[in-house]
Structure 1
Amino acid sequence: MKNEPFFQRQDGRFLPTPACRGPWNPQSLHGRVIVGLLGHVLEAEHGEPDFIPARLTVDMYRLPDFSPVEVTTTVVRAGKRIKVVDAEFISGGVSMGRASCQFLRRTANPEGTVWTPGNWDVPAPADIPPPEDKRTGMGGMWAMRRITGDFGEVGVKRTWMSEVRELVENEPLTPFTRVAVAADFASPFANAGDKGLAYINSDVTVYLHRLPATEWVGFEVVNHGASDGVAVGECFLYDEQGPIGSAACTALAQVMKR
């Protein structure tokens, strides 16, 4: 049976389905679908084969409810080598988030050798047994293959993630959409500790030097820091062929209502 998509199209708007529900409030959307939908629309309306969406930054300043969503876009700069496009996430007629995407023209790498981190030598997703709980990933919001570490552990954390549903009904996931939907995971993965997750991220930035060639996106926590209730977290991103970029976030200490 096909999994329920996150959004359905209706009269030029996007209708959130129950699959969009987030962890902080049962009446609000998950950050991953906000980032994913903004990236999806930016690529669909402004992507070109000769350009790669090399940077996507999303600010999330309100938690949207399940009202119909509109996404509007504005071209800031359309040059021969660089294109910058902004987008706005409007839920129930109110602006809830915004994005900026930088598209860079594909060319050839210059000559010479530049230092890069070592190879990510980890098991492939197919070589890792699936978890006993088939609903892993917020009750089945995504599929996961743990490599090293978990949310309740302090230490190196690595995992594979794959999408299990369409972002928008009957619209296949593109490689960029896969990364955009997954990118919000950098915050809980980097910012959760031995007392659980107590930070809610207010933004996500994805940097890509290439798009993923496979369905699985790998996350490796490489940074977490926090002072005065403000945290930053960062993960390197991979596909099954190697590194593709990174995802970073800022987050605020979150006090859960009881």
Structure 2
Amino acid sequence: MTATPFFTRTGNTFHPTEVANGPWDPKSLHGRVIVGLLGFGIEQRCCGPEFVPARLTVDMFRLPTIDKPVEITTRLVRDGLRIRVVEAEFVSGGVSMARASCQLLRRTQNPDGSIWSPPNWDAPKPADIPTPTDPRLGMHGKWTTRPIVGHMGSLGPRRLWMSEVRELVDGFALTPFTRVAVAADFASPFANAGDQGLAFINSDVTVYLHRLPVTEWIGFEVVNHHSADGIAIGECWLYDEQGPIGTSTVAALAQRKPMANPSKR
């Protein structure tokens, strides 16, 4: 990858670059890079090939600005033979802005017998879908997409492929886990946008994974949205090119001013 990374690093400090800004305020960080950097910090602390990060939950309770340096602190809560639990905190300009909890489970073998699962989606491969020509898709090159059906805000099924085009942290290749972590926040606009635009801003993200992706493309399929009293939940099933990998679920709050052109985000 040669595109500008979302962060550069000096020691234990991360510095946002100009491409790390979000859609709600050009001076604030995008939720996807907050989730991604917390996942990065957790993986640097204690991930290993024998464990799968089965659940990552990120609470985003303040909106960091793009001009402040960031530190990620981690704490190993439990280091068992089968279960590890790690907490991480996102500190921007000396102020806590977000926190994460990650549960990692040791790989073993599936038990005998058969258990029902939903069928794999019948989506075409990313290579078989024409490259979009509209530069606004993927927020002008923050990532790349291959739309399958529907678009953000359409009243019907919504599916797409997403792939990263830049490193999260300069000098660190994306791992399968950080690839999912940095993409997971997309479940909020994809599931919660309506025909009047995106009027919900998510306050958290929870990713469940039964396996890590083995390809660069992550598939999103909207499977749920409900809202009442200005509070929404949205959910997407996640895929790689070999099949299902997990889910991304978000909680969100209504914003007074909808984001325009949800299909162009």
With structure 1 as the length reference, what TM-score do the two structures score?
0.98
> Identity of aligned pairs, percent?
66
In the alignment, does 2:55 pair up with 1:52?
A: no
In the alignment, structure 1 segments of 5+ residues that lack a partner are: none
Q: How far apart, in 2, do the equivalents of 1:227 and 1:162 lie?
A: 32
The Cα shift of 1:10 comes to 1.3
Q: Which amino acid aligns with 2:197?
A: G
Q: Name the counterpart of 1:231.
A: 232
SS at match of 1:80: coil
Match runs of 1:1-258 below 5 Å: 2-66=2-66, 67-256=68-257
Q: Report Cα offsets for 1:96-146 as digits up to 9, x if no partner.
A: 000000000000000011010012111000000010124521111110000
Q: How far apart, in 2, do the equivalents of 1:108 and 1:169 lie?
A: 36
Q: Report Cα offsets for 1:217-240 as digits up to 9, x if no partner.
A: 000000000000000000000000
Q: How far apart, in 1, do the equivalents of 2:257 and 2:8 lie?
A: 30
Distance 1:257 1:155, change over 3 A: closer
Q: Report Cα offsets for 1:135-158 as digits up to 9, x if no partner.
A: 521111110000010013111000
Q: How far apart, in 2, do the equivalents of 1:255 and 1:27 lie?
A: 19
Q: How far apart, in 2, do the equivalents of 1:15 and 1:184 lie?
A: 20
Give RMSD over aligned pairs: 1.3
Runs of 4+ in 1 over 4 A off after TM superposition: none
Counting matched residue pairs gives: 258
Q: Which moved more, 1:223-232 or 1:8-17?
A: 8-17
SS at match of 1:138: helix
Q: How far apart, in 2, do the equivalents of 1:109 and 1:14 lie?
A: 39
Q: Is the 8 A contact 2:198 2:258 kept in 1?
A: no
